[in-house]
Amino acid sequence: MSILLEFFQAFQYPFMQRAFVSAFVIGVVCSIIGVFVLLRGLIFLGQAIAHSAFAGAALAILLGIDPILTIIGFSVVSAVGIGYVNQKKLMNSEVIIGIVFAFFMALAILFIGLHGEYSSDINSILFGNILLVDLADMLLLIVFSFVILLIVFAIKKELYFMTFNSQQAQVSGVPVKFLSYLFLIAVSLTISVSLKAIGAILVFAMIVTPAAAAYQWTFKINTMIILSAIFGVFSAVFGLFFSYILDLPSGSTIVILITLIFVISFLASPKRRSAKKDLLECPFCKDYLPGPCDECDGDCDLGIPHTHEDDRIIISTKHLPDKEPTTHNHMEEETKQ
Amino acid sequence: MTSKEISKMNNSSVDSSNKPQKPIICIHDVVVAYQSNVAIFDINLDIYRNEFVGICGPNGSGKSTLLKSIIGAVDPLKGTVKILGEDILKKGNLHGLRKKFGYLPQMSEIDRNFPALVKDVVGMGLYSTVGLFRTLNKNDSERIDRALEIVELDQFKDRPIGHLSGGQQQKVMIARGIVNDPEILFLDEPTSALDFKVARNIMSLIRKIHEETELTIILVSHDIDFIRNNCSRAVCMNRRIVWEGNPKDKEFDEVINRVFLK
Ligand SMILES: Nc1ncnc2c1ncn2[C@@H]1O[C@H](COP(=O)(O)OP(=O)(O)O)[C@@H](O)[C@H]1O
Ligand SMILES: [Mg+2]
């Protein structure tokens, strides 16, 4: 109880208020943009962006200037550069991402080396500290998050279509090229403004993991967005809470929490809940029937009694011995079981 | 015989009473190249309203490329494509024209767990009619229902798309292709990944759609029998148009034998 009290008492300090607001905003913006990063398969691209942002921060420390401009500059350049190479299909996207990733890490290490000393600034950008977010950082975060969310919701259905089938989206008149770049820039900005609170190494977890957890629960895109935001905010706010009362690094506490949520979601996922105990997947057909058969209203070509549950074909163990396929009627089967 | 003469012949046999129609699609001297590879060349083809054109040819003969050049998904090196009298290569025109056609690319696999319901996927066909920030409204969902009824999947509209069988998924794609009431429907090997029985099912659905609507359909398919029995015109490709005409002609079979079996 006294711990809780201590936490709430801390809210009288401006640093705690800022930390709370930042945690909330990062939780929302990262997790929502993360839904589309995940569905578009841009995971490694995002990781490369985060590391180039770190190189930008290292350069700013070396030059003694405000890091936000170099962070945004580096991350946008790397995102758009990789996006361009992918657009032109010049090489496999993993190759170019790997090269850019390593190059920006090399730059970061070079800048740190040139700086001579390993300052606490570098530490805070690499690992992040949400309690050190100052007023300017917080305002920047709020303004950028607002713009990013505005962009995402403006192009939400187009992004969704591109995610599902970009060729078809293009033919239907979605400006796929332009929106891909716009989206990459939005991802870069998200990473840039979240860097100080979460740290370059962990910021990407805030983007991928809530979305991956939400993915386990639903087949509806809007539900996935809402769930992802809830998971993101929950882990960011409670991460802040635990890191404060237990005196732990904030970024790492937040990421551990969201990973826990992911693991629970994965284990409890209705998408992979297996059939009931006495029922088995059909050993004959699961290989060649990806889902319900096409004409399963009446007779079915499967040749063995089975039921359809969601996505799987299930047959009772008592039917397993008769491997001789039989024709049957689904209506009869239901009454037997 | 030029392609134009054949088209006119075919057309006049369909409705001789009317005055000569203008072609709905006009392809003139088109060449498409990928990098330094010429994929198709010397393409001249006129397509008229309510025709059902079947395009066949060996793998790599440029069938998909031809479709993509008609709908403006690849830019030809040379030549012109006009749809409904408008040049699609002029940037401004294409956007409006896209609302008038539906297109099904060759089948691609759908992730089993992708967060999209059948009705969401069909709804994507209406996105071009809805502005930024806006979502589909009630009227749109009625159109989605109607399209799903046509492909006989109305009871599946709330199922995840990844849980449907390949044939059902392809029907959903057809529903999406027709949900915005297009004037022209392009289908690129809609049954290539399906087994024979399911393929037949899809093909008769396509025939039904052509019979019951005013739609002009351009179908790429390896199903020669289907083209012979259902299409009003066949086009045989091998990087250029080798032959076109009535698929019931004996000549069609000869050409098929020559192109496929040489
Ligand atoms: N995006 C592409 N880049 C380079 N070459 C391509 C591309 N698409 C198709 N091709 C080439 O163009 C030729 C025609 O391909 P395509 O139109 O797909 O034929 P089809 O659909 O008849 O099988 C093939 O030789 C193919 O390798
Ligand atoms: Mg093809």
Domains of chain A, CATH where assigned: 18-206 (1.10.3470.10), 278-337 (no CATH)
Query: What DSSP string describes A12-78?
Result: GSHHHHHHHHHHHHHHHHHHHHHHHHHHTT-HHHHHHHHHHHHHHHHHHHHHTS-HHHHHHHHHHHH
Q: Which of B64, B77, B220, B236 is the pocket-test mutation for ligand 1 (most atoms within 8 Å of CB)?
A: B64
Are B82 and B25 in contact by the 8 Å Cβ rule? The answer is: yes
Report pLDDT for A290: 35
Q: Is the confidence metric ipTM above 0.90 for this complex?
A: no
Report pLDDT for B20: 63
Digitized pLDDT (tens) for each residue of chain A, 337 residues in all: 677 888 888 888 899 999 999 999 999 999 999 999 999 988 888 889 999 999 999 999 889 888 889 999 999 999 999 888 888 877 888 888 889 889 999 999 999 888 877 677 788 888 888 888 889 999 999 999 999 999 999 999 999 999 998 888 888 888 889 999 999 999 999 999 998 888 888 888 999 999 999 999 999 999 999 999 999 999 999 999 999 889 898 888 999 999 999 999 999 888 765 433 333 444 444 433 334 444 443 334 455 555 555 555 565 555 554 444 433 333 334 433 3
Residues 6+ apart with CB under 8 A from A291: A311, B162, B163, B164, B165, B168
The Å distance, Cα B62 to ligand 1 centre, comes to 6
The answer to whether the CB of B36 is under 6 A from ligand 1 is no
Report pLDDT for A335: 35
Report pLDDT for A212: 96
Contact across the interface for A219 and B103, Cβ inside 8 Å: no
| E strands, chain A, in order | 279-281, 307-309, 312-316
Look at B213 and B148; give whichever has higher pLDDT: B148
Question: Per-residue pLDDT averaged across B136-154, rounded?
Answer: 91
Report pLDDT for B167: 86
User: What is the rounded distance in angstroms from the CA atom of residue A128 to the CA atom of residue B1?
Assistant: 75
Report pLDDT for B63: 93
B10 three-state secondary structure: helix
Report pLDDT for A144: 96
pLDDT class for B134, splitting at 50, 70, 90? confident
Q: Which residues of B touch A (CB under 8 A)?
A: 71-73, 94-95, 98-99, 103-105, 108, 112-117, 120-121, 124-125, 127-128, 130, 132-133, 135, 160, 162-168, 198, 201
Percentage with pLDDT > 70 across chain B: 92
Q: What is the pTM of this model?
A: 0.82
Q: Which residues of B touch A153 (CB under 8 A)?
A: 133
The answer to whether the CB of B62 is under 6 A from ligand 1 is yes
B28 three-state secondary structure: strand
Token reading at A53: 């942002």
The Å distance, Cα B189 to ligand 2 centre, comes to 7
Report pLDDT for A286: 41
Which tens digits make up the pLDDT trace of B98-130?
888 888 888 888 888 899 999 999 999 998 888
Question: Per-residue pLDDT averaged across B226-233, rounded?
Answer: 91
Q: Which ligand is nearest to the CA of B36?
A: 1
DSSP code for A199: -
Report pLDDT for A329: 34
> Is the per-residue pLDDT at B16 higher than 60?
no
Q: What angle do CA A314, A319, A320 make, to 5 degrees?
A: 85
Report pLDDT for B7: 47
